[in-house]
Amino acid sequence: MNRSIERHLSTRLEELLRSFPAVSLTGPRQSGKTTLLKNHFPSYAYYSLETPDIRKRIVDDPRFFLDSIGQPVILDEAQRVPELFSYLQERIDNSSEPGRFILSGSQNFLLSQSIQQSLAGRVGVLRLLPLAYNEVPEPPSSIDDWVFTGSYPRLYSSDMSPLDYYPSYVQTYCERDVRTELGVRNLSSFQTFLRLCATHIGSPLNLSALAAASSVSVKTVNNWLSALEESYIIFRLNPWHKNLSKRLVKKPKLYFWDTGLACHLLGFTSPDDYRSGDMKGELYENAVIVELAKQYLNAGVEPDFYYWQDSNGREIDLVVSRGLQAVAGIEIKSSHTYKPEGFVHLDALGDDFGLTPDERFLVYCGEDTFNTRHGHVEHFETISDIYKKITS
């Protein structure tokens, strides 16, 4: 049975449609973009530009197509017909009435490129990731289950098993979309590369090692990483840009936008595999960073996240920035027991970062939240509270 899930981004989406003639909504395949748009804007006409006959109608006569479909309208997977954007610009420039067009897509680079070329300054931009923990009506019984299951809406709206969902997702979207975009011929190398990315979660990115293990060139690895980023499969967390030490580690770290997908690529078949595996700490860290990013994106704000690490091993898992100013430091531990040692690097580096104890956080797997002289102790379910404290 399919269940409707209320998405927090809908509030910000409605606000932007009252201000801009067009709004773009990007995000991973199956993150719920189409469902959100159809549920909240039933009066809008809907057209999927992935449908071949719709694309043919547009290419044949873009002006006639726009005249015939009426307004307001949702144009799904709009990046599939980039030539349409010049005609959208013409209409928007002739009338800047707000809320006329919603442009959605799962290929961020292609959609953003078309907008920048034709619609810059005319479009409000939003991103929809899979479900935030506080969006799920009945979340899993434990955070371990959440990390293993992942957060794609269909897993919760229809009770589908992740063991059934992710093999199809990888074949249909990760492999098809990226292979089509890049013209990947060696499927075996690409599949190996995908799995290797999951083993590199939370580590400074070593392109040469990934290339050697995948039997491809460093250039190919860079291209594949970029394509996975634009398809919202992975993201890179850059080191904090403020030069606090000449011994700063300068490589970005690799993370997945969904830990369930990462668990599938690692070969996990149950939450026990996650609990007992060597990747538990990295996957929990991944889940915490993404969950906080969802809080920002659902409010229509781009997260400005970094990590900090020096050659002596001192590290802050997540530095939240506002411009050039660090506004929060977050350490992430998969332990169920609070240990003051978790604050050791925040204590040592907090003054250099200009962070007061009220701006220092330790997120762990325990059940209690409390304040210490070092900073706030939080758990996964209170990440939305961390967001409120940072942005208040």
Domain CATH for 51: 3.40.50.300
What was the pLDDT predicted at 241? 73
Is residue 2, in this structure, part of any structural domain at all? no
> Do 254 and 155 have their domain in common?
yes
What was the pLDDT predicted at 244? 54
Is residue 1, in this structure, part of any structural domain at all? no
What was the pLDDT predicted at 248? 66
Is residue 331, in this structure, part of any structural domain at all? yes
What was the pLDDT predicted at 310? 80
What was the pLDDT predicted at 105? 86
pLDDT tens-digit series, residues 35-44: 999 999 999 9
What was the pLDDT predicted at 184? 64
What was the pLDDT predicted at 141? 86
Question: What's the token pair of residue 276?
Answer: 């007992």
What was the pLDDT predicted at 245? 54
> Do 150 and 53 have their domain in common?
no
pLDDT tens-digit series, residues 48-57: 998 999 999 9
- Could you tell me which residues are beta bridge partners of residue 204? 253
| Alpha-carbon gap, residue 261 to 30, rounded angstroms | 12
Low-confidence ranges of the chain (pLDDT < 50): 1
Query: Which residue reads 């070329």 in tokens?
Result: 117
- CA-based torsion, 377, 383, 385, 390: positive or negative: positive
User: Considering its fold, how many domains does the chain have in total?
Assistant: 3
Is residue 32, in this structure, part of any structural domain at all? yes
Question: What's the token pair of residue 85?
Answer: 């954007």
What was the pLDDT predicted at 347? 92
Q: Is 267 left (phi over 0), alpha (psi -120 to 50) or beta?
A: left
> Do 262 and 121 have their domain in common?
no
Give residues with Cβ within 8 angstroms of 36, minimum separation 6: 7, 9, 10, 13, 25, 128
> Do 318 and 285 have their domain in common?
no
Is residue 98, in this structure, part of any structural domain at all? yes
Is residue 4, in this structure, part of any structural domain at all? no
What was the pLDDT predicted at 94? 87
Give residues with Cβ within 8 angstroms of 346, minimum separation 6: 316, 329, 331, 355, 360, 362, 374, 375
Tell me the CATH number at 187: 1.10.10
What was the pLDDT predicted at 181? 66
What was the pLDDT predicted at 166? 96
What was the pLDDT predicted at 268? 97
Task: Tell which of 103, 127, 151 closes a domain.
Answer: 127
What was the pLDDT predicted at 117? 72
What was the pLDDT predicted at 246? 52
Q: Give the domain range for residue 52.
A: 9-127
Q: Is 82 left (phi over 0), alpha (psi -120 to 50) or beta?
A: alpha
> Do 148 and 284 have their domain in common?
yes
* Residue pair 387/325 in contact by the 8 Å Cβ criterion: no
Say how many CA atoms lie within 13 Å of 388 toward its Cβ.
5
Residue among 273, 244, 106 at smallest CA distance from 177: 106
CA 309 to chain centroid, in Å, comes to: 23
> Do 283 and 385 have their domain in common?
no
